[in-house]
Chain A
Amino acid sequence: MNRLISLLAQAGLWLAAFISVFPFLWMITGATNTANDITGGRFLPGTNLLPNIAKFFELVDAGQVFFNSFFVAITGTALTLIVSSLAGYGFEIFASKTRDRVFAGLLLLLSVPFAAMMIPLFVMFSSAGLINSYIAMIAPGIASIFMIFYFRQNTKSFPHELRDAAKLDGLKEWQIFWFIYIPVMRSTYAAAMIILFMTNWNAYLWPLIVLQTNDMKTITLTVASLATAYTPDYGLIMIANVLATLPTILVFFLLQRRFVEGMLGGVK
């Protein structure tokens, strides 16, 4: 009886896994097929991989596009980690009367949808002369309320005794943060890093609004542009999708173990 339940559970999990993985399989086999094979529903790998790749590199200035994506994603992730974790640390460690009010105010701001801020934000960056720049792409996300909240929650499990001991040893606040807090919280950082890298890498709406020239475009915008042909070349779109997905998958697998720890709120 128990074995039967276990078998059923296994089958259910396999089905769920298949459904989750299927879009990826479809994308990868699609990248090896022609557009007609794909719309015809062919699921087997084909022989059109190299022509698809060749066409992608012919149509897209891949070096520039990937540089833009990587630069924005890496710088954006690093700056957000520094600013948001500092803020989260501060909010949790330093108790004061106004602290909780400020924090509640911040959380309230989370409910304002981005679409409502888009036009004012655009006007702001435009009057600062920063339209079509890396700064414009990165800056609005650096002080991420969600990330501040996330770091504050995780800092709750940061042992205050460590900070007290460090103070006795004569460390300044920035040294405590740098030499004690960051190493202890590395799982939290890793999880945040994956989330931020993916958010920055996949960012679409804001870069779309604020970027004006081809040499500033990111890979997400490039893929979208490829997909609007009058007779779309799906093989080309699939290979572009594969290339656009690879970095996020790599980052995820590299940090997977820490990600799980971080999401569970682990302090090591």
Chain B
Amino acid sequence: MLGRITAIMVKEFIELWRDKSGRIRLVLIPVLQMLAFGYAATFDVAHVSTIVLDTDASQESRDLVARFTASQRLDVVAIATQEADIVAAANAGLATVGLVIRAGFARDLRSGHGARIQVIVDGTNSNSALIALGYIGTIVARYSQDEADDFAGRLGGAAAARPVTVTLEQRPWFNPGLNDRWFFIPGVIGTVTLVLIVNLTAFAVVREREVGTLEQLMVTPIRPAELIAGKTLPFLVVGFVQVALVVAVGTLWFGVPFVGNPLVLAGGTLLFLLSTLALGLLISTTCTTQQQAFATNFIVLNPIFVLSGFAFPIASMPKVLQWLTYLNPLRHFLVVIRGTFLKGVGLDVLWPQFLAMGAIAAVLLTASILRFRKALE
């Protein structure tokens, strides 16, 4: 029994090492994901290209435009002479924001009735547009406040007339710098192991089916349970090595703090890996060629990725999809990862996630083993 499992495991490791594309998958996927999410992925919106149409051309309008120019977030890239220029710039993608200050702006302001400006935003990328609008709102609010103070001062009311204000004191917990990298890098542990382990497991089985060695194995005295154990245990080991690798690079190279208990993360990893192994096995039972397996992996892994909270907040999803995410092992694993990395919480907080992952792994493993045995017969 143990001899047969060992024989398969040894063979599996040799094949994994000899297979050039397998080795590339093993190293390249984690490295690329780390680079992509460590350096490229950020929610920050900076240097929003802005075009300005100022038909008022007053001291006040120039002051407002200067505040846009001075902002780190917005870059005034062009001055328009007519509204058509803004349309053209938006169509060509040269400007994301158009600021329109019409004639009469300064006059209205001085009258004390308040003045209007118009902001046009290219909403193609809704997220960036929303954030840019936030920046503009802040700039305009400050300008408005300053103008109001100035107006009140000139009327002679001075400090007494100044309205009461509320000051917001911000102190983000767990990630004081609101560093996107701290959010993404721990998540990469989940996505890398998901993609890699599902792929490796599915391909390891489908390859044998395609080449014909699976049939050869079936006429040996090996039992299905031994075959499944021998074919999945190596990838459990590979999974743990991958996780260790990503944790090491994330903390040592990208400086993401790890404040929790490594054993809690290891326990969560084990439960998650069992789900990914089962998923790979399940996919392998539906495919006869490696090409099919590749396509199926793509179809299956994409929703898991999107519905995990890795990048898109689950709270913003429609209710039905939110319920669906509870069936997603990656969703729970990400909570465990981020909880251990950034918050340092333990099983007292994370037990629901452990329970959910354990249940998902049990269901997936049972289904995959039953299907696998059936596929062998």
Judge: A and B partners, yes or no: no
